[in-house]
Amino acid sequence: MVALYQGRRRSRAPTWYFNMNNILLKNINKPNSTDIETYLKGGGYKSLEKALKEYTPKDVIDIVQKSGLRGRGGAGFPTGKKWEFAAADKNTPRYLLCNADEGEPGTYKDRPIIEKDPHQLIEGIIISGYAIGAAACYIYIRGEYAYGADVLRRAIAQAYKKGFLGKKILGKKFDFDLYVHKGAGAYVCGEETALIESLEGKRGQSRIKPPFPVNVGVWNKPTVINNVETLANISHIINNGPDWFKTMGPEKCPGPKIYSISGHVNKPGNYELIMGTPLKDLIYKYGGGIRNGRNLKAVIPGGASTPVLKPEQIDVNMDYESVGAVGSMLGSGAVMVMDETVCMVGVARRLLKFFAHESCGKCSPCREGTHWLVQILDRIVSNEGKIEDIDLMLDICDNMRGKTFCPLGDGAINPVLSTIKHFKDEYLIHIEEKRCPVGYRHSEHCL
C-alpha cells in the first residue's frame, strides 16, 4: 500500500534526503559525515563550547524557551518548559532520555540524523544535559535501527576521546555520560513512560501519570525525554540565537521540520523545510506530484495514528495548530500519500492490524478493541461484512476514545473513524456489492 521502507537500500547513495533548508540535514551528503573530524570541520561542537563557556544552565533553558521550540515527537510540548520543570526538581541525579524509538509507521525523519549526522544529535544532547543538570543521557533507539545504533556508538566513542563527554567536559565542572540502549521492538515504547519502563528492564507498558517523568522518571528520578529531531535543533539555536529560530515558520511553532513523504508520489523522501509548509506543496512541489499522473485520493499527514485527510483538505499549513484545525494532527510529520488505486477499507484494516499487534495489553479497551476492529475489518474486506458492522465499529471506537490508558488506543481508532467519515461509500461497496471499490475482484488485494 504505502512504500514505507525506501531507505532500506543503504548501499546506494542516499537520494532520499532533501535538505531544502540546510540546517538539520546540512551535513547529510558530506563524505564521511559520521566522522567527528568532518563534523568539527563544519563548525561542529562550537555551540557546545559557547553554551558551556558563555551561558549558565539557566541561560540555556531561557534561550530554548525564547526560541519557541516545540517537541518534534508528535505532541508538540514546548521543550524549554519541559526542561524548566525538570531543572526545578531538587531530586538528583537527573536524567535525559533521547527518544530514538521512531516507530510511527511512515516516519523516518530521525533516521538521517542518527545514521548520517550523529554528532549533531550528540552535541544537542550534551547541551541539553548541561541545561537541565543531567548526570547522563540514554539514547533509546529502536531495535530495528541496529545500524544507527552502531553509528551512534562509534560517534559517542569519538566524542569521549575528544573530551566532549565524560568528566570535566571542556574543562568545566560538568560531567556527563551518554549511553545507547536498543529497544526490543515495541511501538508503545515510543510513549515516554513505556520507554522508561523498557529502559529499566521491565515490560513495555505505560505508567500512571501524574507523576510525570520530569519529576519521577527513570529510576524514579527527574527525567527529560526529547525526540531526536528536537535535540538536533538545540545546537543551532545556541549558535544562531532564539530570534533567528523564530524567523522560521509560524509564531507558535517555529523552526525547521523534517517531513517524511512516502506513498504514491514521484519523489518520496525526507524533506527538511520550515514548519508550516503547505501540505499541497509537500505533495506536488517537493514530492513531485502523484505517481503515473494519477489522482490523489487521501493523505495521512502525521503518521499512522493521525486521521486521514481528503484531497479537498490538503490546502493546509503543516504545523500543529493548522493541521489540528482541519481535524487531523501533525504528529511526527510523516506524510503518507495515497492515489486512487488504494482501497481505503484496506488501509484502515492494515493500520488497525498494526495497532492490534502493537497494543501492549495493559488496558482492556485498547487490547480488545483494536483486535475486535481488525476482525470486523477483516470480514468487510473479505466481502463478508454486514451493514450493522459500520455502526458497531463506530460504537467500539466511541468506547475506546479517551478511555484507554495511553495515547496508543486513542490513535488506533483514527484510521477507522476518518475512513468511515470520508470514505463511507467504499465500506458500503465492500459490504453491499461484495466487491472492492477500486476494482479488485479478489479481496486479497485489500488485505
d(CA 252, CA 255): 10
- Say if residue 267 is exposed, middle or buried (CB neighbours under 10 Å; 0-12, 13-18, 19+): middle
Nearer to another protein, 16 or 372 (CB): 372
Q: Which is closer to another protein, CB of 237 or CB of 416?
A: 416
Q: Is 362 in the site for another protein (CB under 8 A)?
A: yes
Applying CB under 8 A, which of residues 364, 428, 440, 447 lies at the interface with another protein?
Answer: 364
Binding status of residue 375 toward another protein by CB under 8 A: yes
Binding another protein by CB under 8 A: which of 262, 277, 359, 414? 359
Of the candidate spans 144-152, 235-243, 352-360, 423-431, the one that interacts with another protein by CB under 8 A turns out to be 352-360
Report if residue 246 touches another protein, rule: CB under 8 A: no
Nearer to another protein, 153 or 379 (CB): 379
Instruction: Tell me which residues in 40-99 interact with another protein (CB under 8 A).
Output: none
Give the helix ranges, DSSP H, for 211-283: 228-246, 279-280
Of residues 98, 62, 54, the one with CA closest to residue 80: 62
Using the minimum distance from each CB to another protein, give the nearer residue, 150 or 398.
398
Crossing angle between the packed helical segments 228-246 and 57-67, to the nearest 10 degrees? 70
Q: Closest CB to another protein among 181 and 353?
A: 353
Radius of gyration for the alpha carbons in the chain, expressed in angstroms and rounded = 22
Beta carbon of residue 206, minimum distance to another protein (angstroms, whole number): 9
370, 418, 419, 443: which one binds another protein (CB under 8 A): 370
Q: Give the containing element (helix H, strand E) for 298.
A: strand 296-300
* Integer angstrom CA distances of residue 322 from 254, 260, 325, 327, 334: 13, 18, 5, 9, 16
Per the DSSP assignment, residues forming a β-bridge with 166 are: 176
Cβ 375 to another protein shortest distance, Å: 4
Stretch that binds another protein, among 9-17, 143-151, 313-321, 388-396 (CB under 8 A): 388-396
What residues between 175 and 194 interact with another protein by CB under 8 A? Answer: 186
CA-based torsion, 440, 419, 303, 15: positive or negative: positive
Q: Using the rule CB under 8 A, which residue among 352, 363, 417, 431 binds another protein? A: 363
Nearer to another protein, 108 or 372 (CB): 372
- Residues 35, 286 contacting (CB under 8 angstroms): no
Shorter beta-carbon distance to another protein: residue 171 or 210: 210
Report residue 189: phi and psi, to 5°. -70, -5
Q: Shortest Cβ distance from residue 327 to another protein (Å)? A: 17
Centre a 10 Å sphere on the Cβ of residue 78 and count the other Cβ atoms it contains.
17
Q: What's the grid cell of residue 63?
A: 534561550
- Work out whether 143 is an interface residue with another protein (CB under 8 A): no
**322 sits near another protein (criterion: CB under 8 A):** no
Considering the rule CB under 8 A, would residue 365 count as an interface residue with another protein?
Answer: yes
State which of residues 71, 254, 346, 369 lies at the interface with another protein (CB under 8 A). 369
Select from 161, 172, 357, 434 the one that contacts another protein (CB under 8 A): 357
Phi and psi at residue 17, to the nearest 5°: -110, 130
Q: Is the Cα dihedral 27, 30, 32, 36 positive or negative?
A: negative
Cis amide prior to 93 (ω within 30 degrees): yes
Interface residue with another protein, options 12, 31, 201, 208 (CB under 8 A): 208
Asked if 358 touches another protein (CB under 8 A), the answer is yes
Q: Is 354 in the site for another protein (CB under 8 A)?
A: no
Please state, in angstroms and rounded to a whole number, the distance separating the CA atoms of residues 304 and 101.
15
256-263 and 269-274 beta bridge pairing: antiparallel
Distance in Å, CB of 355 to another protein, minimum = 9
392 binds another protein (CB under 8 A): yes
Contacting residues toward another protein, per CB under 8 A: 186, 203, 208, 356-365, 367-372, 375-376, 379, 392, 395-396, 398-400, 402-405
